[in-house]
Amino acid sequence: MNQNTQRKQKKPRKATQKSLENAALYYLQRYATSSENLRRVLMRRVARSAHAHDTDLEEGAKLVDDLVQRYKDAKLVDDAAYASMRVASLRRRGGSARAIRANLLAKGVSNDHIDQALANDAEETPMAELIAACAYARRRRLGPWREKDREERQERDLGMLARKGFSLDTVRQVIDANSVDDLEERIALGPNG
């Protein structure tokens, strides 16, 4: 018999205030997160504890809620800052506003924080959507970054960018550009150019 199959599954720790606090601090050291995502992480720990040790799930939920609120008050967890940071990060990787909104909603960030972060991003970078589409196209070698078979693959490239959540206007600007230099010039001119 294999050694891995012989090993017993380790019993989860009992969810106490101290163990939840340690888990939360360890998680926050490693990851930037929203308050709702931290709540979900800790509630999974509470649920495992309740199942293994027959502890009260509602009591654990109360501990988690108190802990998350305390961390929000101490600014260890800040949903607005998290949303701004994720918007910037996802934009650099080529994320559209729609994809960013979906990502942040999945992490439990409120629509108000998302709207504010996207508005700040649009104010700082007027052509943010086009720049993000270019970043994605560059990474995937679409449109003007494609070296061969550009004409034959144009519809495919359009579809790839559209599925990433970019508007048809933005997708067309990227895919129909004659060269990378044309796109860079359009971005440099800004929205009014």
> Residues 79-108: what's their mean pLDDT?
97
190: confidence class by pLDDT, cuts 50, 70, 90: confident
> Residues 140-155: what's their mean pLDDT?
93
Measure Cα distances from 35 to 38, 58, 90 in Å.
Answer: 5, 19, 19
Ordered by start, the domain boundaries in the chain are 17-73, 79-124, 128-189
Give the percent of the chain with pLDDT over 90. Answer: 86
pLDDT at position 9 over 90: no
What are the helix (H) ranges across the chain?
A: 3-6, 17-30, 35-53, 57-73, 79-92, 97-106, 111-124, 128-140, 154-163, 168-175, 180-189
| Per-residue pLDDT, 193 | 63
pTM for the predicted model, two decimal places = 0.87
Q: CB atoms < 10 A from the CB of 127, how many?
A: 19
pLDDT at position 8 over 80: no
Mean pLDDT of the chain: 93
Helix axis angle for 79-92 and 97-106, nearest 10°, is 140
**Amino acid present at 45:** R
| Stretch among 98-102, 144-148, 167-171 having the lowest mean pLDDT | 144-148
**How far apart (Å, rounded) are the C-alpha atoms in residues 32 and 67?**
17
| Per-residue pLDDT, 104 | 98
pLDDT at position 16 over 60: yes
> Residues 128-134: what's their mean pLDDT?
96
Q: What is the pLDDT of residues 26-38, one digit of tens each?
A: 999 999 999 999 9
Element of type H or E holding 127: none
pLDDT at position 78 over 70: yes
91: confidence class by pLDDT, cuts 50, 70, 90: very high
* Per-residue tokens: 152: 């034959």
54 phi/psi in degrees, rounded to 5: 55, 40
| Per-residue pLDDT, 33 | 97
**How far apart (Å, rounded) are the C-alpha atoms in residues 137 and 18?**
47
Q: CB atoms < 10 A from the CB of 12, how many?
A: 17
- Tell me which residue has tokens 């996802």: 90
> Residues 151-157: what's their mean pLDDT?
94
| Stretch among 6-10, 60-64, 92-96, 160-164 having the lowest mean pLDDT | 6-10
Element of type H or E holding 13: none
